[in-house]
Amino acid sequence: MTSALGIILVGAVVAASCALVGSFLLLRRVTLMGDAISHAVLPGIVLAFLFSGSRAAGPMMLGAAALGLLTVFFVELFHRSGRLKEDASIGVVFPALFSLGVILITRYAGQVDLDLDCVLYGEIAYAPLDVFRLGGVALGPRALWSNGVILLFNALFVTVFYKELKLSTFDSELAAALGFAPLLIHYGLMTAVSVTVVGAFESVGAILVVAMLVVPPATAYLLTDRLAHLLALAMAFGVLSSVGGYGLARLFDVGIAGAMAAVTGLLFTLALLFSPQHGLVARALRHRRLGNRLLGRIALLHLSGTEGGIEVAILRERFAWHGRQLRRALDELAGHGLVTLEGTTARLTAAGARAAEAAGAAEIGHPLARPPVGLPKPDSDQASAFGS
């Protein structure tokens, strides 16, 4: 296997397993638990290292999972007892555990073959050098195997508990009422996050794990409203980021892991700007269009009481903050033949008068014509990711 392929594959597998669990973190609004766990597992890894004396995957996973669960436990303890808000609980727990890890590393530097820089931002370039051998046969990078197993584990977890994860994420009280033990699911998910983080640790480092956990799911969230699509898209963006990141790193001769994280950000920015439904551009256009229509209706209303039309300047005064848009709205009304603009005076046409009456009385003026309160408005964010 070439080194390039090895790096890309390791990156892709890490990205995919991160995206799987990260999507649920996103929907449960606890993405920063991912951030916290990715730092807090450090002492677990160091301790596993000290006790087992090797970089064997088993003890490390165990140590990391234990610390991951400990993190969740402390955060929940402080948060649920009402003494600290959730963000503060996270903000106090993980730096403390991380500090413990750093001190352990520095104190036992002789025994621990862990480099702090590597912990912080990883070095995926070396991943292909550490080859997994079975009976003397080279079977590709070790990191590929370990992360492959984790990916499989995550895929299994998400597939088997899909229904439970979905329900407890959407409505944990309902899940509890139906006997689905949301707390157990929560801890299960956090265990998966911890294990995933350890696997990714050596390859991409503590902080870039966060990029893989958070950003591809967030990007997908901007593009779809369905959970299954969200998972698939998030994995796709993760993989794309690792491929693109490798390419860019080679092109500009920069760090690979950092480049992968930067590409996740690039994809996110593109989705943020250009998502057809939730993108900033689409939104701005929609608001402008709807805004014009709204201003048009208000303009009609103001014109309807005036026999001989009204000076545009006077109208503009009433639209204090929207003087410029008013002009556009009036032009649009004129385009529809509802208003005539003669010099500086705007006047309703016969059709405009009818429209004004309709606008004032029926279309939005009458309470019955409004959508029932509580339903998502056309451009609101309340549509969940649970279309079906």
Partner 1 sequence: MEMSFTVRNVLAGATLLGAVGGVLGGFAFLRRQSLLGDALAHATLPGVCLAFLLTGSKAPLVLFTGALIAGLIGALAILGVVRGSRIKEDAAIGTVLSVFFGFGIVLLSRVQRSPAGNQSGLDKFLFGQAATLVESDVALMALTGGLALGTVLLLYKEFKLVTFDRGFAASLGLPTIRLDVALTLLLVMVVVIGLQTVGVVLVVATLVTPAAAARQWTDSLGRMLLLSGLLGAGAGAVGAWVSASAPRVPTGPVIVLAGAAALLVSLFLAPRRGLLWSYWRERRLAARIRRENLLKDLYRYGERLGGDFAAPVPLIHLRGVRGQGLGELRGATARLARESLVERIGDALRLTGGGVERAASVVRKHRLWELYLTRRLALPLDHVHRDAETMEHALDDGAEARLDEILGYPPTDPHGQPIPRPGGRA
Partner 2 sequence: MSEPREETAIEVHDLTVAYRTQPVLWDVDLHLPAGHLIAVVGPNGAGKSTLLKAVLGLVKPVTGWVRIFGAPAQQRRSWVGYVPQRESVDWDFPTTAVDVVEMGLYGQLGWFRRPGRRHRERALECLEKVGIRDLADRQISQLSGGQQQRVFLARALAQDARLYLMDEPFAGVDATTEQAILQLLKELMSEGRTVVAVHHDLQTVREYFDHVVLLNLRLIAAGPVATTFTAENLQRTYGGRSTVLTQAAEELLGRGAFDRTSAGQVD
Decide if residue 311 touches partner 2 (CB under 8 A).
no
3 state SS of 53: coil
291 binds partner 2, rule: CB under 8 A: yes
151 interacts with partner 1 by CB under 8 A = no
Structure tokens at 291: 């805004």
Rounded CA-CA distance 355/299 in Å is: 11
CB of 18 to partner 1, least distance (A): 11
112 binds partner 1 (CB under 8 A): no
Per CB under 8 A, 258 contacts partner 1: yes
Query: Per CB under 8 A, does 117 bind partner 1?
Result: yes
What minimum distance in Å lies between the beta carbon of 320 and partner 2? 7
- 377 touches, from partner 1, partner 2, none (C-beta below 5 to 8 Å by class): partner 2
Q: What is the DSSP string of 260-316?
A: HHHHHHHHHHHHHHH-TTT-HHHHHHHHHHHHHHHHHHHHHHHHHT-TT-EEHHHHH
Contact region with partner 1 (CB under 8 A), list: 106-114, 140-148, 164-172, 292-300: 106-114
Measured between alpha carbons, how far is 147 from 153 in angstroms, rounded to an integer?
A: 10
Q: Is 107 in the site for partner 1 (CB under 8 A)?
A: yes
120 binds, among partner 1, partner 2, none (CB under 5 to 8 A by kind): partner 1
104, 112 contact by CB (below 8 A): yes
- Which one of partner 2, partner 1, none is in contact with 80 (Cβ closer than 5 to 8 A by kind)? none
Question: What is the size of the binding site for partner 2 (CB under 8 A)?
Answer: 28
Among 276, 320, 335, 382, which residue interacts with partner 2 (rule: CB under 8 A)? 320
Of residues 25-44, those binding partner 1 (CB under 8 A)? 26, 29-32, 34-35, 39
Closer Cβ to partner 1, 21 or 310, answer by number: 21
For residue 339, the SS3 value is strand
User: 31-45 burial, b for 16+ CB within 10 Å, e for fewer?
Assistant: bbbbbbbbbbbbbbb
Tokens 């265990």 belong to residue: 191
Which of partner 1, partner 2, none interacts with 166 (beta carbon under 5 to 8 A by kind)? Answer: none
| Residue 373: strand, helix, or coil | coil
Contact call for residues 357 and 199 (beta carbons, < 8 A) = no
Alpha-carbon dihedral angle through residues 43, 44, 50, 55, given to the nearest 10 degrees: -120
87 binds partner 1 (CB under 8 A): yes
**If you ran DSSP here, which 8-state letter would residue 337 be given?**
T
145 sits near partner 2 (criterion: CB under 8 A)? no
Q: Which residues bind partner 2 (CB under 8 A)?
A: 82, 286-287, 290-291, 293-295, 298, 301-302, 318-322, 360, 364-368, 370, 372-374, 377, 379
